[in-house]
Chains A and B, each alone.
Chain A
Amino acid sequence: MSSPSAPSPAERPSLAAVFRAFAVVSLSGFGGALPWARLVIVERKRWMSAEEFNEAFALSQFLPGPNVINFSVVFGARFGGAPGAAVALAGLLGPPLAIVMVLAILYARFGDIETLSHILAGVTAAAVGLLIAVVAKMAAPLFLQRWNSGPVIAILAFIGVAIMQWPLPIVFAVLAPVSVAFAWFKR
C-alpha cells in the first residue's frame, strides 16, 4: 500500500488512447469488466503498476455505485483531469449502451415471442447461477474467519432486503454504521 511516489510505468496516454482502451475493456467484459480492466491497463498498456491499479480499484469499491464506472472516472481523472474522466467514462459506457439500446428495441418488439422468451429463460437461469457463484466466492473468506460480525451483518442485510423486502436505503442506514463500527473496533 505504501508506494513512495512510484514512477509512472509509461508516459501519459492520449485521450484517444484512453477512450479506445476503455472501449476494449467494456466490450470484452462479459459478466464483469474488472479482470479486463486489469489486463488492458496493467499488463498490455502498462499505464499503471499492479499496485497503483489495486489502489485505484480500492477507491472505486469504496465509493457507492458501479465499481467499474467509478474506476474509469478515477483513472481518467488521474491521467487527464475532467476531460480524461469524461473520455474514459464515454469509452466504457458508449459501446455497450449502443448495443443494449438495439437489444432494448428488439426486446420491446419481439419480447412476446415464445422462442425468445424460452431462450431468455435459459440465459436468466444461467445468469442467476453465476450470481450465486459470485456470492459464494465473496462469502467464503468472510464465513471462514473465526469470530467476526461479517456473517451476521450479511445475513441481516439479506433478510431485510430479500425476505422482508424493506427499501434498500433503510436497510443500509441501519446496518452499514453497525458493520463499520465493528470493523473499527476489531483488530
Chain B
Amino acid sequence: MNDSPLLALFGYFALLSLFAVGGANAAIPEMHRIAVEVMHWMSDRQFADMFAIAQASPGPNVIIVTLIGYHVAGFAGAAVATVAMCGPTCVLAFFVARVWDRFKDARWRIAIQAGLVPVSLGLIGASAFVLARTADHNIYAGVITAVTTLVGFATRLNPLWLFAAGGLLGLTGWL
C-alpha cells in the first residue's frame, strides 16, 4: 500500500466498507487479517480487546474501526478510519434510496438479497471463529463463551448483563 498509516487506513477500510455485507461483524476477520497479520498494527490480544470495547459500548458495532484507527494514528487515524468505513456506503445508500422504489420488487434484487444471506452468515461465523481463537485460550473463557452462546440464543436478555457478568468473572484473573 503506502508508508503513510493514514493512507493505508483509508484505503483498507474504504474497500472493506463495500464488501461488508451483513454489517460490521462480517468484516471482522478481514480487519483482523489486515490489522494483525498484514500491517502488524497490533497484537491478537489488542484486537480482541477492541472488539470487546466496541461491543460493550453503545452504538453501532462498526465503531471498532474508530478504535483501530486511534490505535494506529491517534485522532486523525480515528477520523480517517471512521469516514472510510462509513463514507462510501452512506453515499451509496443515499443515492440508492431515491431509486429503490423502482426496483424493490425486481427479481434480480430479490435474488441478490437472498444470495447474500449465506455469504454473510459464513463471514460472521468466521468472525466468531477468529475471535474465539484469541478469546478462549483456556477452559474458563471457553465456558463463559459457551454459556453466553446459550443464553444469547435462548433468551432476549439485554447483552449488557452478559458483558457485565463476563467482566466480573474476568476480574478473578482466571481467564
- Residues of A bordering B, CB below 8 Å: 1-2, 26-33, 55, 58-70, 73-74, 77-78, 82, 85, 89, 92-93, 95-97, 99-101, 103-105, 107-108, 111, 114-115, 117-139, 142, 149-158, 160-162, 165, 167-169, 172, 175-176, 179-184
Given A62-B116, A64-B20, A155-B122, 5 new contacts (CB under 8 A): A65-B85, A78-B97, A100-B63, A127-B52, A176-B116
A127 and B29 form a contact (CB under 8 A):
no
B153 touches which of A95, A126, A136, A157 (Cβ 8 Å): A136
B33-45 Cβ-contact flags toward A at 8 Å (1 or 0): 1000100000001
B152 and A133 form a contact (CB under 8 A):
yes
Q: Within the assembled complex, what's the spacing in Å between the Cα atoms of A165 and B15?
A: 17
B61 and A128 form a contact (CB under 8 A):
no
A117 and B135 form a contact (CB under 8 A):
no
Q: How far does the Cβ of A40 sit from chain B's closest Cβ, in whole Å?
A: 14
Q: How far does the Cβ of B25 sit from chain A's closest Cβ, in whole Å?
A: 6
Q: Within the assembled complex, what's the spacing in Å between the Cα atoms of A32 and B61?
A: 7
Main secondary structure, interface of B, reads helix
Q: Within the assembled complex, what's the spacing in Å between the Cα atoms of A95 and B66?
A: 13
- Answer yes or no: B76 CB below 8 A from chain A CBs: no
B29, B90, B108: most-surrounded residue (chain A CB, <10 A):
B90
B116-152 Cβ-contact flags toward A at 8 Å (1 or 0): 1111111111111111101110000110111111111
B128 touches which of A128, A149, A150 (Cβ 8 Å): A128
- A169 surroundings in chain B (CB, below 8 A): 15, 19
A101 and B55 form a contact (CB under 8 A):
no
- Residues of B bordering A, CB below 8 Å: 15-25, 27, 29-30, 33, 37, 45-46, 48-63, 66-67, 70-71, 75, 78, 82, 85-86, 88-90, 92-94, 96-98, 100, 104-105, 107-132, 134-136, 141-142, 144-153, 158-160, 162-163, 165-173, 175
- B86 surroundings in chain A (CB, below 8 A): 65-66, 69, 89, 93
Q: How far does the Cβ of A155 sit from chain B's closest Cβ, in whole Å?
A: 7
Q: Within the assembled complex, what's the spacing in Å between the Cα atoms of A30 and B162?
A: 11
Q: Within the assembled complex, what's the spacing in Å between the Cα atoms of A25 and B63?
A: 15
- Across chains A and B, which 3 residue pairs bring their CB atoms closest together, nearest first? A122-B170, A96-B59, A157-B122
- B46 surroundings in chain A (CB, below 8 A): 111
Known contacts: A59-B100, A127-B56. The answer to whether A133 contacts B153 by CB under 8 A is yes
Q: How far does the Cβ of B117 sit from chain A's closest Cβ, in whole Å?
A: 7
B118 and A66 form a contact (CB under 8 A):
no
Q: How far does the Cβ of B161 sit from chain A's closest Cβ, in whole Å?
A: 9
- B105 surroundings in chain A (CB, below 8 A): 1-2
Q: How far does the Cβ of A10 sit from chain B's closest Cβ, in whole Å?
A: 20
B145 touches which of A28, A63, A128 (Cβ 8 Å): A128
A154 and B148 form a contact (CB under 8 A):
no
Q: How far does the Cβ of A160 sit from chain B's closest Cβ, in whole Å?
A: 8
B19 and A172 form a contact (CB under 8 A):
yes
Known contacts: A117-B49, A176-B116, A180-B111. The answer to whether A123 contacts B163 by CB under 8 A is yes
Q: Within the assembled complex, what's the spacing in Å between the Cα atoms of A167 and B171?
A: 36
Residue of B nearest to A139 (CB): B121
A-B contact pairs, 15 of them (CB 8 A): A28-B58, A29-B59, A32-B159, A64-B89, A69-B90, A74-B93, A108-B70, A121-B175, A122-B166, A123-B167, A129-B162, A153-B118, A154-B118, A168-B19, A169-B15
- B24 surroundings in chain A (CB, below 8 A): 66
